[in-house]
Structure 1
Amino acid sequence: MEEKIIKVLIEDEFAKENGIYFSKLEGDNLVFKMPIKSQHRNPLGLVHGAVLFALADEVSGYFCSQVLEKPSVTLSSSINYIKGSQAKEIQSETRLIQNTSSISLIEVSIFDENKELLAICNMTYYKLKNFEEKRKNYETGR
């Protein structure tokens, strides 16, 4: 499972561009990390809220597609920003809250390198039906 996640993540342009990488998978806790560069900071020098949300969105999407093995799209999301940070690296941790035949709810917590909680995000995903068939039709123009 871990090798599969790493392989897909390596090919992900968004992850590459932002330095997002796999750290570990323990049960329903998928951990991604991201180094913080100057472009990831707001005018106050803190990690930009959009960066925290982007990491939460990335890791929860991978959780659905790779851990649950269900290609999914975001149905809704909410984020609570807990604390500003001048972190050099952030990490995400996932927790599966609900998993039905059509919907998954994943909670993502974002921490700095000192394990200070920066944000909590709830991501609701809709599981795509007949994904492979739809993708093939899209690729062939049908």
Structure 2
Amino acid sequence: MKELKEFFEKNDKFAKLLGFHIQEMEEGTATVSTTIKEEHLNGADVVHGGFLFSLADFAFALASNSKNNLSLAINANILFSKAKSGGKLFAKAKELSDGKKIATYEVRISDEEDSTVATFTGTVYRKGISVI
């Protein structure tokens, strides 16, 4: 698992750009954190929905690829529950179902008070080849 975590830390350039940090990566689960900065805010001075989606998507990618079976998103949805304009965010992904080719995950984004900011669900197609 350490090798996969290091692979994503090194190679996911978009996650680096956005300031995402892998806190945990285990089989079928992952936790990512970030700190909201001014450049992450939209015109209403709350964190941009695309930033939240990207945070959840990164946790989803880590959890779905944690078995070293290259998994690519085929569907993703997000529900925004709470507006935030600062502080830390945490995205925790967990596996809901795991088939040979299709798997489904849920990601809960929370703030420092453990309040739900957004809930993401995603489905992946497993390619049947190694990530690394």
- With structure 2 as the length reference, what TM-score do the two structures score? 0.88
Whole-angstrom CA distance in 2 between matches of 1:47 and 1:55 = 11
Maintained 8 Å contact 1:87/1:112: no
Aligned length: 131
| 1:111-133 residue CA offsets vs partner (Å, 9 max, x unmatched) | 1122111000000000113568x
CA RMSD of aligned residues (A): 1.9
Larger radius of gyration: 1
2:9 counterpart of 1:35: no
Q: Which residue pairs with 1:110 in the alignment?
A: 109
Q: Which runs of 5+ in 1 are unaligned?
A: 133-142
Q: Which residue pairs with 1:136 in the alignment?
A: none
2:61 counterpart of 1:61: yes
What are the residue-to-residue correspondences of 1:82-121 with 2, within 5 Å? 82-121=81-120
Q: Which runs of 5+ in 2 are unaligned?
A: none
Deviation at 1:4, TM superposition (A): 3.3
User: Which region of structure 1 is more displaced relative to structure 2, 54-63 or 18-27?
Assistant: 18-27
The letter for the 2-side match of 1:91 is F
Where do 4+ consecutive residues of structure 1 move more than 6 Å? none
What's the secondary structure of 2:9's corresponding residue?
helix
Maintained 8 Å contact 2:29/2:93: yes
Q: Which residue pairs with 2:5 in the alignment?
A: 5
Whole-angstrom CA distance in 2 between matches of 1:107 and 1:83 = 17
Q: 1:100 to 1:31 in 2, by over 3 A?
A: same
Q: 1:90 to 1:105 in 2, by over 3 A?
A: same
Between the two structures, name the one with larger relative contact order (CA 8 Å, sep ≥ 6): 2
Q: 1:52 to 1:30 in 2, by over 3 A?
A: same
Whole-angstrom CA distance in 1 between matches of 2:25 and 2:127 = 24
What's the secondary structure of 1:15's corresponding residue?
helix
Whole-angstrom CA distance in 1 between matches of 2:26 and 2:71 = 21
Q: Which residue pairs with 1:49 in the alignment?
A: 49
